[in-house]
Every structure is written in C-alpha cells, then in structure tokens.
C-alpha cells in the first residue's frame, strides 16, 4: 500500500484529533512523502525516518521542538499502521529528537505600561522642514485593550484573534474561549481594569452583532495572528522593550498569578493545560522569585536579630 493510500486510512481513524494537531501532522506527512517518495509504506525504513529528521534540522533549519513534533506525528502514523496493517513500528527504532525547554520570559510592570503608552503614536519622523512628527494611530484603544486583556487573562494569540462579541460579558468580565488548544472550551475572566479598557474600545464601535469580532481590523474582520504578532513586536521595538512577543504576556500572567496568591490547579484551568507539567514551571519560577525577594527584604537579617 502506497504512503498516500495509507494516510487516507490513518485520517479516517483519527478524525478526532484537534484542528491544530491535524494541521501539524499533515505538514509533517506531506514533507515526509515529498522527501522519501510515495513508496510502499511497508518499504519505508528507520533510515528514511532518520534521514528525514536530519533534513528538517540541517537543511530546513527547523527547531528541535519542531523536529520532535515531527517524530511524534510519524510515530502516531506507524502506531496506527502496526495495528491496522500489521507493519513493524520503525519509528520506535529512531531516537526521539531532544530539545532544550525555552526560558520562560516575562514582562515587567514598567514594560507593560510602556507598551500601553506606546499605543498612542507611531514611530516619530522628521519632515523636510526639520519638524518632529508623532503620527497618531487609528487603533489606539483596540491595541491598549488587547495588551491589557492578554496580560490579565493569559489567553493565547490564536484564542484572542477568534473572540467574538458574544464571547465577552461586559457585566462580569467573563470571556468564553471556544475551541482553544486541543479544541477545548474554557472560561477566563477579565478584571475591572481590563473591562475598562475593553469598554472604552467597544464604545467607539458602531452597532455590533453577536458574531462580530471582539477585536476587529479596520475592515471589520478578525485579527490575523501574524498581524497581532507583528503589532506587538513593532510596538516593543518602538518603546524599547526587548524581545516583545505575544506568548510572553501568557508567561507574565501565569507567573504573577502564582506570585499574587493563585494556586497551581486554578492556573492550570485558566491556561487550558491538559497536565501540570508547564504549570509547574511557572510555580517554580514564582517560588524562586519569592525566595530572592525574601532574602533581599528579610526582617531578621536587616534587624540583625
């Protein structure tokens, strides 16, 4: 059976995979078939898998995490093939790519305030007459509301971009995140401060329908994730915030949630994680931060007791 035919059967048996997982697996399978050819699946060897992973790493220069994800996708395919077609699981013979867990970076209070203030104007420029100009931005209120919402709730970029008017309650701050990672729904809550920013932004909008985007573009469409990433990156550079990116707001929310008295189970539910692994990273980071703070501000040490 050709690889392409086998993949048809694989997808029939794996329809329940989340949309994002399907997209990732489909990309891996397409690259793999392009690399090794649409040969008989029984003729594919572990050497083919090793060569493909090396190709992804050395020629495509993809990250260790991406190569690891590709191994997982291929392992899923051969787990199915072993059961459905009686074919040996060749991927198990290939070592799973390792990668370093990225450092969890967070914004400081000063950086968040700088980015909120930076929404007011675009980059300064000088006219031919030598006059300094600070162009105003049409999306000031929207972008401020986005920054505060990301900081206050920890939702992902893709989740924020998909939000609709019906998903937000201005009375309670409830935000219904539909089909988050893993196609799971969950609820988060915007604080009074965040609700104030969202209210100011929505007050400028014309009559809205329930299925209109909560944060819309100039043309009334949903924000595109790539444009959101670009907006945050550009804003960070403009106001002097190093390495500004959207997921950093999620880290900031998580660490400060623990610092401010939240517990790990609550955080896991708010972030929409399936297990505690990533949550414990935030807990350890917050704990280390509190340990340093205690040592710096120790009453017993300062009073020389």
**Residues acting as catalytic residues:** 156, 181, 247, 250, 273, 282
**Contact between residue 115 and residue 79 where contact means Cβ atoms under 8 Å apart:** no
CA separation for the pair 297, 75 (Å, rounded)? 51
The 10 Å Cβ neighbour count of residue 141 is 19
**Contact between residue 170 and residue 198 where contact means Cβ atoms under 8 Å apart:** yes
90 to each of 9, 78, 106, how far by Cα in Å? 18, 7, 41
Q: Which residue matches tokens 């989340």? A: 18
Strands (E), 52-191: 125-126, 132-133, 174-177, 186-189
Token digits of residue 227:
């444009």
Q: Strand, coil or helix: what is 255? A: helix
Terminal C-alpha separation, the chain: 78
CA separation for the pair 269, 247 (Å, rounded)? 17
CA separation for the pair 97, 55 (Å, rounded)? 13
């Amino acid at each position: 059976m050709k690889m392409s035919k086998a993949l048809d059967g694989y997808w029939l048996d794996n329809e329940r995979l989340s949309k994002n997982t399907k997209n990732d697996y489909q990309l891996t399978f397409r690259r793999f078939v392009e690399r090794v050819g649409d040969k008989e699946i029984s003729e594919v060897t572990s050497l083919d898998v090793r060569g493909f992973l090396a190709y992804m790493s050395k020629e495509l220069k993809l990250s260790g995490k991406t190569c690891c994800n590709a191994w997982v996708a291929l392992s899923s395919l051969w787990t199915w093939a072993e059961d459905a077609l009686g074919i040996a699981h060749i991927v198990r013979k290939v070592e799973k790519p390792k990668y370093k867990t990225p450092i969890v970076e967070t914004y400081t209070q000063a950086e968040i305030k700088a980015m909120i203030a930076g929404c007011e104007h675009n980059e300064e420029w000088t006219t031919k007459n030598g006059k300094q100009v600070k162009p105003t931005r049409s999306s000031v209120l929207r972008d401020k509301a986005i920054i505060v919402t990301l900081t206050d709730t920890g939702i992902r970029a893709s989740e924020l971009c998909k939000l609709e008017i019906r998903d937000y309650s201005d009375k309670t701050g409830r935000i219904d995140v539909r089909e988050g990672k893993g196609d799971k729904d969950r609820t988060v809550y915007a604080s009074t401060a965040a609700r104030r920013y969202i209210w100011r932004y929505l007050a400028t909008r014309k009559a809205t329908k329930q299925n209109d985007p909560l944060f819309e573009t100039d043309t009334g469409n949903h924000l595109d994730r790539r444009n959101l990433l670009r907006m945050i990156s550009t804003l960070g550079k403009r106001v002097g915030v190093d390495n500004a990116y959207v997921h950093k707001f999620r880290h900031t929310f998580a660490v400060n949630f623990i610092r401010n008295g939240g517990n790990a189970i609550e955080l896991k539910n708010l972030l929409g994680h399936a297990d505690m692994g990533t949550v414990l990273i935030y807990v350890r980071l917050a704990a280390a931060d509190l340990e340093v703070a205690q040592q710096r501000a120790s009453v017993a040490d300062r009073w020389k007791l």
